[in-house]
Amino acid sequence: MLAAAEQLMNLDWLNIQAAAAVSLADTTLLNADTMGFVYELKMALKAMGDMRAPKPTFSTDQIPDLTGRVMIVTGGNTGIGKETIKVLLQHNAKVYMASRSPQKAEAAIAELKEETGKEAVFLELDLTSYASIHKAAEEFLSKEEHLHVLFNNAGLMLCPIDMLGPEDYDLQWFTNVVGVYTVMAPAHFGALTGPLEGPFLFTKLLLPALIAGKASSPDGHTRIIATSSSGSYLGIIHWDTLKDGPARRKTNSQELYFQSKFANVVVTRQLAKRYADQGIIAVSLNPGQCDIIAVVGP
């Protein structure tokens, strides 16, 4: 898929769109290999199109008063997470900044307090550690009965290939997917159409508070919001690369990142389908091109 994207970079934008339109319109003439390329082309076009996204029609000024709402933002001490917390504080939400480094979190909380007059609550969370995830969830649940929005924002990007998580999982996969959702059954995801089994960690451990939160939410719903990426358009899940081994070593950090962002979309959609009847709305998003510092390792 990366090869398709690289080819596109050498072609004129309008010619790309025209060629793709013709190919997609007459798929009856295409064999399986060509169909695969057309799909890759379509996804690469979508990713490139997001780089030219129009100006937003929504402003943060349109966010209603969030007094009484409790929210968690993972990876909240920098980048998208920090900006999210800033806006939530400005609208009177109680926000937990779930971050790995106490020093960085405390500095970010102090800075946000100067800017907003409101103070976020630090929640220590290291998504590369089972113990830390359990501890963070237990600490939150000891303080709050209701959780109205969980922003699954934290993640790693483009780690060196030799970086691994617990149980020899690829570090990006573990941090961006397993540590966040932990819907991992014995065979990685297991059957996604079956009941969610496994340790479930952060999101799973917080589900009781999310389900309870609908009672105090004005619209009767709570939310799980996952920060994905335009890279999700360029990735699929290669099951033999999730843990370290020959297949993983033959790929590269970018491909591993893309598949983790694609998994964010897949898992969030499953959460939406499975918990809709319990009042939970789950969505994933592509934040677009952002001027942020990428976290490349623990």
Residues forming the active site = 228, 257, 261
Q: Which two tokens stand for residue 219?
A: 């619209």
How far apart are the C-alpha atoms of 221 and 13, rounded to whole Å? 42
Q: Is 207 left (phi over 0), alpha (psi -120 to 50) or beta?
A: alpha
The torsion angles phi and psi of 118, rounded to 5 degrees, stand at: -120, 155
Length of the chain measured in residues: 298
Q: Cβ-count burial of 115 within 10 angstroms (0-12 exposed, 13-18 middle, 19+ buried)?
A: exposed
Fill in the amino acid letter for 46: K
- At 197, is the secondary structure helix, strand, or coil? coil
Of 14, 298, 3, 19, nearest in space to 160 by CA: 298
Q: Which residue has the tokens 């898992």?
A: 267
Fill in the amino acid letter for 76: G
How far apart are the C-alpha atoms of 5 and 39, rounded to whole Å? 11
